[in-house]
A and B are shown apart, each in its own frame.
Chain A
Amino acid sequence: MSLQLDFPAVLERWPSFLAGAVLTLELAAFATVLGALLGTLAAVGRGTHNALIAGACKAYVETIRNTPLLVQIFLVYFGLASLGLKFSAFAVAVAALTINVGAYTAEIMRAGFEAIPRGQIEAAEGLALSRLQIYWHIILLPAVEKVYPALTSQFVLLMLASSVCSQISAEELTAVANYIQSDTYRAFETYIIVAVLYVILSLVMRAGFWGLGLVLFPRRRRLGTPL
């Protein structure tokens, strides 16, 4: 057994690694924004008095949370294909990741909604705020503020989970790594570099969300509540 590591041979592919990292961030950004919307809608739906909508939202959340992402990606990939719809692998990856993170977001947002004191809503009704105003100012914004840390760590986990999309040959960091290692026969070095890149990406994302939190929630900053 000989242990010979040759990092320069792999590192000279740095433009590909960089492009892969950017693609991963893009994939995560699309899925995060769309998933946050979908998840918030599902959380609102779960709280409605319409049993049918609430039941459908609950079924969605529980189904997604109790099946592996890999299976979900394959189901979306082959499901769309069997309907005769042709999409790029990247679009399928965005769709599958959105559906996935939407369910987790819904569960987190529901906790946030439940944490809003009933009296706040009654007070807003007393001040004659419209339903929409109440939803936006009294329920949604304070709820997001409360669950912001849980929400953002879920989004970082999503970025890491997007590596699974390499299995349907969507272009992202892990897919790039698979290609480079099969080209250079330097698997260990390649995956070490990719692992380091993922760690950097997750640190960058966390720092970004922290900064965003400072801007979005000045009240929280003034109170000194850690984000």
Chain B
Amino acid sequence: MGGHLNINHLMFLGQGALWTIGLSVIALIGGGIVGFIIALARISPLKSVRLASATYVQLVQGTPLLVILFLGYFGLAAIGLKVSPLTAASASLTLYVAAYLGEIWRGCIQSVPKPQWEAAEGLALSRTQRMIKVILPQAIRIATPPTVGFMVQIIKNTSLASVVGFVELMRSGQIVNNSLFEPFAIYAIIAVTYFAMCYPLSLFSQRLERRMGRGRSNLAPA
């Protein structure tokens, strides 16, 4: 019992919240870059590339993020590579997010209507030109709502980085709790903070989805 919750504790939690946002941004950017490569590899004309990327996705989607984090932190340390909690968490989250975003984006690229692909081919565009000038601009529109939705998952998943000792919101909550021992109150504050970060994104994603739905129904032949 170490006194009451005071402004210093809240400041500490606030700092943790900032790191949660920071780690989420790192995971989004890292996972987005690798995930984009995965998405393209999944629809590659080369069978071996398709197979390799599909295997990667299956393996990561079949493993809990917690185990991936342990592998990245304790595992690499045990074989002699020294990694900081931030590096381990960023690398693990990047690999994890890439597998999911890659699959989401592959779906979006493939859901660009077939005539668009054929028309681009008919105009004698190369594969790269077709992808960059015709398919991707349309795929990005389709991909925006699910990607924003997945950002909520990323923010929530960064809470697992606390198990490798990275001081984000969850870990800072545990540290404050160790000195105050008021677990219910502190974890309730943590929960509210996560909710405040995630709920606006959820709402935004839903709104984008509805707007997309309207856009699409306008395109439907009368």
Q: Which residues of A contact B (CB under 8 A)?
A: 1-5, 62-63, 65-72, 74-75, 78-79, 81-82, 160-164, 166-167, 174, 177-178, 181, 185-188, 191-192, 194-195, 198-199, 201-203
Contacts and interface: CB of A to CB of B under 8 A. Distances in A.
B134 interface: no
Contacts of A191: 67, 70-71, 74-75
B202 interface: yes
Given A66-B195, A202-B62, A177 B78 contact: no
Interface string B65-77: 1111011001111
A140 B3 CA distance: 53
Nearest to B160: A70
B191 A160 contact: no
Contact of A68 (B71, B81, B159): B159
20 contacts: A1-B79, A3-B79, A3-B80, A62-B202, A63-B191, A66-B152, A66-B156, A66-B199, A67-B194, A70-B162, A71-B170, A71-B191, A78-B187, A163-B66, A163-B67, A174-B67, A186-B78, A187-B77, A199-B62, A201-B62
A98 B74 CA distance: 30
Nearest to B80: A1
Contacts of B6: none
A25 B49 CA distance: 33
Contacts, number: 119
Nearest to B181: A78
Contact of B66 (A1, A65, A166): A166
B159 A71 contact: yes
Contacts of B120: none
B109 to A, nearest CB: 20
Nearest to A78: B183
